[in-house]
């Protein structure tokens, strides 16, 4: 193999730069020339790329974001786009394309492989951790850490004012960040899609719990961690309803995009480095149409389709702990 290319696509995640670095250095070690397409799949369509050397990736491991920039590219779903991308890759003599992104980006990679004879390999990079077949995704650990720091700070003011705070975290349609940040911050309640009930049940549940907490601890702060997109009218509306029903002031805090940024924590840098190196070595072995992953410290390749056909589950023991702690306070 003489030439490899990569791109970062979809939502950016801390650790993508560490992954780019690992791909570049591993490729160079094997004597492979390496290129980076800019702005996700847009770069493939525009033939916008950079030749990458060891110097290009010096001093980036600690930086959030991605030096290649990321983007969404809605037109990439068409066959014509995939054909243009294939032509551009062939014109540059690329034999393998590595795609760092989420399951949307992997669908794009699969789509490309229907029109291109080169190898495609996906690397799971998303803060949401919602990709089946890998213990964690690049960026996930940093996102929990960022959410946690914010929740700890909100708790200080919640305690001072004896208020209820609803803290909305990212996760798209998965509760990995929510559940883990809730456990780590000792939140009183967590609302994540995997455990969600009807709005009426959910409301009744929280209100009863707030009452029980008041009885046990007196007028104390109360923290709810909730995943984005969960409450139909949004967390601001939910906060209004709770204020009305409990007569305790309830404030929403939407953490938003701060969770995507920041310097990656060590677990993300290490995971990104492992997966980056492994992706290049897998390409050398002829793998294609696969995602590289780590499960129980074993590096693996699995078909790209599994990442969207199968659903990754929350850790059931963590769910049980959260539930047990939640129920405990309600005991007389």
Q: What's the CA gap between 116 and 94, in Å, rounded?
A: 11
CA dist., res. 260 & res. 275, Å (int): 20
Closest approach of Cβ 126 to ligand ADP, in Å? 5
Rounded to the nearest whole angstrom, what is the least distance from the CB of residue 112 to ligand ADP in the complex?
Answer: 8
Comparing CB distances to ligand ADP, the nearer of 105 and 129 is: 105
Residue nearest to ligand ADP (CB): 104
* Residues 124 and 275 sit within 8 Å (Cβ to Cβ): yes
- Judge contact between 324 and 157, C-beta under 8 A: no
Nearer to ligand ADP, 25 or 85 (CB): 85
Q: How many other C-beta atoms are found inside a 10 Å radius of the C-beta of residue 107?
A: 18
Q: Tell me how far, at minimum, the Cβ of 135 lies from ligand ADP, in Å.
A: 18
Catalytic residues: 128
Residue 78 Cβ vs ligand ADP, minimum distance, rounded to whole Å = 8
45 or 190: whose CB is closer to ligand ADP? 45
Our CB check for ligand ADP shows the closer of 8 and 221 to be: 8
Where do the DSSP E strands lie in the chain? 3-8, 33-37, 49-52, 96-101, 119-124, 164-169, 189-191, 222-227, 250-254, 290-295, 298-303
Using a 10 angstrom Cβ sphere, with 0-12 exposed, 13-18 middle and 19 or more buried, the burial of residue 324 is exposed
Q: Which is nearer to ligand ADP, 103 or 145 (CB)?
A: 103
Q: How far is the CB of 11 from ligand ADP (least distance, A)?
A: 4
Catalog residues that contact ligand ADP under the rule CB under 6 A. Answer: 9-11, 41, 72-74, 76-77, 101-105, 107-108, 111, 126
Is residue 280 within 8 Å of residue 26, measured between CB atoms? yes
Q: Are 249 and 164 in contact (CB under 8 A)?
A: yes
Identify whether the C-beta of residue 123 lies closer than 8 Å to the C-beta of residue 19: yes
Residue 319 neighbours by CB distance under 10 Å:
18
Q: Determine the 3-state secondary structure of 76 from DSSP.
A: helix
């Amino acid at each position: 193999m003489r030439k490899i290319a990569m791109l970062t696509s979809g939502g950016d995640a801390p650790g993508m730069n560490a992954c780019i670095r690992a791909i570049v250095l591993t490729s160079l070690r094997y004597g492979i020339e390496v290129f980076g397409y800019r702005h996700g799949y847009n770069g493939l369509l525009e033939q916008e790329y950079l030749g990458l050397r060891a110097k290009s990736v010096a001093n980036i491991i600690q930086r959030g974001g991605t030096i290649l920039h990321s983007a969404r590219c809605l037109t990439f779903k068409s066959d014509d786009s995939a054909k243009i991308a294939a032509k551009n890759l062939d014109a540059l003599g690329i034999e393998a394309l590595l795609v760092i992104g989420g399951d949307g980006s992997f669908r794009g990679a699969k789509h490309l492989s229907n029109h291109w004879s080169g190898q495609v390999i996906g690397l799971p990079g998303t803060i949401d951790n919602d990709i089946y077949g890998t213990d964690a995704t690049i960026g996930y650990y940093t996102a929990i850490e960022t959410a946690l720091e914010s929740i700890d700070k909100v708790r200080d003011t919640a305690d001072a004012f004896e208020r209820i705070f609803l803290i909305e975290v990212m996760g798209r349609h998965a509760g990995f960040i929510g559940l883990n940040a809730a456990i780590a911050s000792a939140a009183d309640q967590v609302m994540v899609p995997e455990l969600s009930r009807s709005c009426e049940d959910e409301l009744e549940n929280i209100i009863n719990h707030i009452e029980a907490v008041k009885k046990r601890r007196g007028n104390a702060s109360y923290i709810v961690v909730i995943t984005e997109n969960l409450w139909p009218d949004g967390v601001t509306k939910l906060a209004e309803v709770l204020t009305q029903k409990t007569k305790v002031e309830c404030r929403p805090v939407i953490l938003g995009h701060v969770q995507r940024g920041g310097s990656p924590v060590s677990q993300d840098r290490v995971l990104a480095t492992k997966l980056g190196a492994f992706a290049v070595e897998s390409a050398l072995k002829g793998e294609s149409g696969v995602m590289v992953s780590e499960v129980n410290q074993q590096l693996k390749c699995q078909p790209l389709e599994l990442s969207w056909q199968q659903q990754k589950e929350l850790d059931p023991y963590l769910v049980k702990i959260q539930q047990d702690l939640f129920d405990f306070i309600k005991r007389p």
